Structure 1
């Protein structure tokens, strides 16, 4: 498995430099990379710049467009901003990529398993036909295809990463329990995968070393399970009582959360291992939660 020190340092630009890209950015900065990206707030600009990251204000709204100078020496791009009805703003509201980023050679688009739709708990492979059952999934699928299409017949390699539920330090069942915000939503038969934020970084770095234009990767751990299993295990680690389950039908959920629970699938993760040579540091939530607790 390649490490960041194996790379010839480049310049990574992240559309949506939040939790996931932020963790990767700090790792790459230590290896001599330049990192820049976008944030939606003035406060975010200040925080990123203090970390040595070139920051640009970009909300993806009408009239938003970044200066071409932002991309003049960019070699790698990660796009993670949720697309709107008009598409991904990183594509629709930017200058022509071919002229504004002459050194670009790799793009990673961070998508979602929602593009598969509901599979009734069955395993889903990257070669299975997508069948989104929500507007969110349909927009992500359109954005995936738009990114790949934008760089057909060029030297730029575009990869799609369908990320399962992201957790890590500061954003885990342990943090939810300690903050009194943990809930167990009881929906019999409902399972889903997760992925530790640092395993995402490992997978993205491996893809940079092994570009494959148009390739799709399921980014997930090895054990899909009910959300209650994770909360109960975290409670055990903390020597706390887990919260009482809340029946799904009576749970107060946001429209996005309710949409999430309306689908059930298990992600096949063989491709990230066979093609990218990735060995997950946290193959299940157990290893991930233990690490978060140990490092706290």
Structure 2
């Protein structure tokens, strides 16, 4: 099985790390030459997503059995479809796996929602995701598997590291909860979608939507330190981007992920995930 990844990002690289033996060839794109050269040293075929290497990318699309797409859409277009839409539509790849976000659902006031919930994006980046999902469906048809991810955490991207670096905040908005997903479980879900051989849409998240301040407090308890003081969301100084994440409040169901794709989460809540990371020495002094 040959895999081509548009975007060797956090989840795609974790998929490669864990499941490399499942593929006879792995290749993909990056934005910067430094990252390309680093991946070459790891024996991965990586190509710059620019006009210079488009012919090589087109050749890899043609031979791929699976296309994995983690490149986010721009404000007005999806860069992958703009550059390679015709080649993807004509490809013989049996599966196209598109990594999206639960942000497409918009705000449901803390209610439980699932994949049958209508999308209702409320910020520009979520609108772009909805448009991109629809465009990918037009191009890939029944081959398209859409994975809508909650916030992904893992090595170097977690509450432990933020506490160590002095960047963690406990901002409290009453009733606010978020789902999240450990990167290992994100990679597991992507591999399960590849093995499923069918299209569909699945939420990829943990079992327990939780207040963000509780996650920071638990991480602090693992580190044996006092958590930061709580801050009221209404008066906290935040960037517009950071504040926008609090505009949606949902409890996301992952039942279909478990039922259809057979995924058994290694880290069903933030507690197991943070414990694993702490035991792997995350959050320790650099």
With normalisation by structure 1, the TM-score equals 0.89
Query: Which of 228, 242, 253 is the equivalent residue of 2:238?
Result: 253
The answer for the alignment partner of 1:83 in structure 2 is 73
Give SS of 1:237's match: helix
Across the aligned residues of Structure 1 and Structure 2, the Cα RMSD in angstroms comes to 1.8
Report if the CA contact (8 A) 1:65-1:95 is conserved. Answer: no
Query: Which of 45, 56, 70 is the equivalent residue of 1:54?
Result: 45
The answer for the alignment partner of 1:11 in structure 2 is 2
The answer for the alignment partner of 2:157 in structure 1 is 171
Give SS of 2:234's match: helix
1:148 has 2:137 as partner: yes
> Deviation string for 1:91-127 (max 9, x for gaps)?
111162257633x111111111111111100011101
Count of aligned pairs: 279
Structure-2 separation of matches of 1:159 and 1:32: 19
Structure-2 separation of matches of 1:95 and 1:120: 37
The answer for the alignment partner of 2:61 in structure 1 is 71
The answer for the alignment partner of 1:123 in structure 2 is 112
> Deviation string for 1:211-261 (max 9, x for gaps)?
322x11010000001111111001001101111122223333333222111
Structure-2 separation of matches of 1:65 and 1:120: 46
1:233 has 2:233 as partner: no
Give SS of 1:249's match: coil
Query: Which of 156, 174, 182 is the equivalent residue of 1:196?
Result: 182
| Cα deviation, residue 163, structure 1 | 0.3
Distance of aligned partners of 1:190 and 1:207 in 2 relative to their CA distance in 1, 3 Å threshold? same
The answer for the alignment partner of 2:261 in structure 1 is 276
Report if the CA contact (8 A) 2:173-2:232 is conserved. Answer: yes
The answer for the alignment partner of 2:271 in structure 1 is 286
The answer for the alignment partner of 1:222 in structure 2 is 207
More helix by share: 2
Unpaired runs of at least 5, structure 2:
282-286
The answer for the alignment partner of 1:186 in structure 2 is 172
Report if the CA contact (8 A) 1:38-1:56 is conserved. Answer: yes
Runs of 4+ in 1 over 6 A off after TM superposition: none
The answer for the alignment partner of 2:284 in structure 1 is none
Structure-2 separation of matches of 1:97 and 1:118: 36
| Cα deviation, residue 64, structure 1 | 7.9
The answer to which of 192-201 and 29-38 deviates more is 29-38
Structure-2 separation of matches of 1:99 and 1:223: 38
